[in-house]
Chains A and B, each alone.
Chain A
Amino acid sequence: SQKIEQNSEALNIQEGKTATLTCNYTNYSPAYLQWYRQDPGRGPVFLLLIRENEKEKRKERLKVTFDTTLKQSLFHITASQPADSATYLCALDSDTGFQKLVFGTGTRLLVSP
């Protein structure tokens, strides 16, 4: 069956450290993968997209990698800040057209001062 897995346990790190979140998937062949940030009680906000032919993408303190052989994406936040505390969702295209996305359940990141 098709599955997207993100670590359901919260990730606690200290300010200034690098946070690394993992997204694994099975039985999908996505053309791209996206990462979103969601704050409590609000809708997700798009952060980054990485395509299947890209190994790595960066945006300011964010870095995403995509390994289609391992079926895994890693999301890194360098020099993390308390304001980075949120839930991070990965989403991949469901390969059915219409730009339908399938979302993981998200990983909560807590950055302590």
Chain B
Amino acid sequence: DVKVTQSSRYLVKRTGEKVFLECVQDMDHENMFWYRQDPGLGLRLIYFSYDVKMKEKGDIPEGYSVSREKKERFSLILESASTNQTSMYLCASSRVLGIPEQYFGPGTRLTVT
């Protein structure tokens, strides 16, 4: 069974803290994505990566950075957490060839106080 796992289901951090969200996939997928999901705004792409050490900005990259040192792992970093980054964060992966469906992790509910 294919799997995307995320390091935490729930996380509470203080304003100004550096926050790391980790995502691991076991499907040998080339593409990995980080989204945030907010009520009424839907899923918005923060960053994605199509290969190790490669990254591309999505629609809302400000305040975030990413790291992909290994094919299976994609990390999202909030350099200095702010209250407007309180959200549900979802990681996904997909293969380059074949049907481009995305496999999602369970999500991390981040609260910044």
Contacts and interface: CB of A to CB of B under 8 A. Distances in A.
Contacts of B31: 98-99
Contacts of A105: 40-42
Contact of B42 (A32, A100, A104): A104
Label chain B's interface by main secondary structure.
strand
B78 interface: no
B48 A98 contact: yes
Interface of B: 4, 31, 33, 35, 40-45, 48, 50, 56, 58, 90, 92, 94, 96, 99-107, 109
Interface of A: 8, 32, 34, 41-46, 49, 89, 91, 93, 98-106
6 contacts: A43-B107, A91-B43, A98-B48, A98-B56, A101-B102, A105-B41
